[in-house]
Amino acid sequence: NGGAAGGGDAANYPDENITIVVPFSAGGPTDTVTRMIAGPMAAKLGGKIVVQNVEGAGGTVGAGDVARAKPDGYTVLMHHIGMSTAPALYKSLGYKPLEDFETVGLVTEVPMTIVARKDFAPATLQDLVTHVKANANKVTLANAGIGAASHLCGLLFQSTTGVKLQEVPYQGTGPALTDLVGGQVDFMCDQTTNTSGQIAAGKVKAYAVTTPERVKSLPDLPTTTEAGLPQLKVSVWHGLYVPADTPPEIVQKLSEALKVALADQGVIDQMAKLGTAPVPAQDATPDAHRAKLDEQLATWAKIIADSGVKVS
């Protein structure tokens, strides 16, 4: 085949294991979505896919590793909205999203929920706003590090309510949710792909969803608009990436395999149970994904600059 560490030539691709890097802890929302599609993608590609969690710095460590990986199609990145916010949040980010990656295709767009530890006093979102305004520096807000979706939602919550909370960073919202259920931290904004189970089990208090419409699988949860915080709207789009200069035929094979995974009934059903759905096939393409990334980089650069958050 075409040289060491992977075939390199598209015709035989894949002729060894493919690694999908998840830049957050195992068991969190990004990891969950990745492991849902890995099986059907591997079947279509006729190879094996290994999911590897590379944590740290709100997803920027894992993303940086993939930016520097060999462009041979054997190292893939699953990332989300954080790919478009990190450049506005980090002074020296180790990669440039549009230059150091090829987009493979969009995967899904996931609503966020605002959830608190079970015995946290505020009963509704409005009560939460009143509570944080009166007790800002005593309230702890969990997230998965600067650049994470949970961090971004927390940023929007703080800028719309005008408070500065005590942020508690984790390597992913999997471990953060464990601490929330354990009562070690007060509240968090996290994706339905992670929080749905604990909400259904009554292990956390849920205030709202951050989407314009209610989430079918969480029908009792009001939207932030219904609950009086219309500006707090965010949903977490996800996409797959490979290092820049990966041969286009390999990118195409990965995009085709992604489309097959997103049409898999098991994936559709699992996503529906967790409050989300695959993107339409035409969005699981390199061009559609690149257009989304382009637009989101500009959108969040402005919102983050206007929010006055300090850049790390």
| Residues between 154 and 183 with contacts to ligand MLT, criterion CB under 6 A | 172-174
If phi over 0 gives left and psi between -120 and 50 gives alpha, with beta otherwise, what is residue 286?
alpha
Give the count of alpha carbons within 13 A of 241, CB side only.
Answer: 33
User: Which CB atom, from 7 or from 29, has the smaller least distance to ligand MLT?
Assistant: 29
| Non-local CB neighbours of 125 within 8 Å, separated by 6+ positions | 114, 207, 208, 222, 224, 227, 228, 229
Task: Pick the binder of ligand MLT from 13, 24, 207, 237 (CB under 6 A).
Answer: 24
Q: By CB under 6 A, tell whether 60 contacts ligand MLT.
A: no
As a whole number of angstroms, the distance between CA 55 and CA 22 comes to: 8
Angle at the Cα of 149 from the Cα atoms of 144 and 155, rounded to 5 degrees: 90
User: Which CB atom, from 26 or from 258, has the smaller least distance to ligand MLT?
Assistant: 26
Q: By CB under 6 A, tell whether 62 contacts ligand MLT.
A: no
Q: By CB under 6 A, tell whether 192 contacts ligand MLT.
A: no
Binding mask 121-160 for ligand MLT (x = CB under 6 A): -----------------------x---xxx----------
Can you say how many angstroms the Cα of residue 27 is from the centroid of all Cα atoms in its chain? Answer: 13
User: Which CB atom, from 80 or from 289, has the smaller least distance to ligand MLT?
Assistant: 80
User: Which CB atom, from 126 or from 312, has the smaller least distance to ligand MLT?
Assistant: 312
The nearest distance, CB 248 to ligand MLT, in angstroms, is 29
Specify the stretch interacting with ligand MLT by CB under 6 A; choose among 2-10, 22-30, 215-223, 286-294.
22-30
Q: Which residues bind ligand MLT (CB under 6 A)?
A: 24-25, 28-30, 80, 82, 144, 148-150, 172-174
